[in-house]
Chains A and B, each alone.
Chain A
Amino acid sequence: SQQGEEDPQALSIQEGENATMNCSYKTSINNLQWYRQNSGRGLVHLILIRSNEREKHSGRLRVTLDTSKKSSSLLITASRAADTASYFCATDRDDKIIFGKGTRLHILP
């Protein structure tokens, strides 16, 4: 059963623009994490936000968490060609880890 669901499924933007993707989940969580995957490779951890945090920054990344709405957003500012990848949110349910289906981000030159 899917816990996290990303939205949109795919996103194409011009280089330099900001990209926003969203994640919704169903049950209470300890943390919510965002990962990036480049074309069939292993996932790379981007940022972790704890359930008692509302916003977190890391370089060009900004993550928000609204536990009342059970949703999170990932903002990538000033996008670059190298940001082209799939982005996944991951949440915990009991001791299991649940990934969403991902957002495919394509940065146009």
Chain B
Amino acid sequence: EAQVTQNPRYLITVTGKKLTVTCSQNMNHEYMSWYRQDPGLGLRQIYYSMNVEVTDKGDVPEGYKVSRKEKRNFPLILESPSPNQTSLYFCASSYGQGYNEQFFGPGTRLTVL
């Protein structure tokens, strides 16, 4: 089954404790992206990747890191999480460019205390 998976689905952590949210797709998509969703603000793009070893900032990259060492994986790293990073996070992938149909993961709900 074609899908985007994220782990963990739910995470409660404390300020400053490094964490990684994994994202994996099995559709051989070139483009992968991370979004955060906050009430009243819609989805905002954090980082995106056009292909392996190619990553770039979205609109809200501060406090986040990403890597794309393999085509299927695109982990999101929070080196020192803060309470303002409490949010619902989505990973997505698409064939070719990002302006093609995107396939979304189920989301990761992160709470930083």
Contacts and interface: CB of A to CB of B under 8 A. Distances in A.
Decide whether A and B assemble into one complex. yes
Interface of A: 1-2, 29-31, 33, 35, 40-45, 48, 88, 90-92, 95-102
A39 B90 CA distance: 14
B90 A96 contact: no
Q: Nearest 3 A-B pairs (CB), nearest first? A: A92-B99, A101-B42, A42-B104
A81 to B, nearest CB: 23
A104 B55 CA distance: 32
A98 B97 contact: no
Nearest to A32: B99
Contact of A31 (B56, B59, B90, B100): B100
Contacts of B103: 45
Query: What does DSSP make chain B's interface, helix, strand, loop or mixed?
Result: strand
Interface of B: 4, 33, 35, 40-45, 48, 50, 56, 58-59, 88, 90, 92, 97-107, 109
Contacts of B105: 42
A48 B101 contact: yes
A92 B98 contact: yes
Given A95-B48, A97-B33, A97-B48, A30 B104 contact: no
Given A95-B56, A97-B33, A99-B44, A30 B97 contact: yes
A88 B42 contact: yes
A90 B97 CA distance: 14
Contacts of B90: 42-43
A104 B12 CA distance: 28
A96 B40 CA distance: 20
Contact of B101 (A29, A41, A45, A101): A45
B51 to A, nearest CB: 11
Nearest to B107: A42
B107 A41 contact: yes
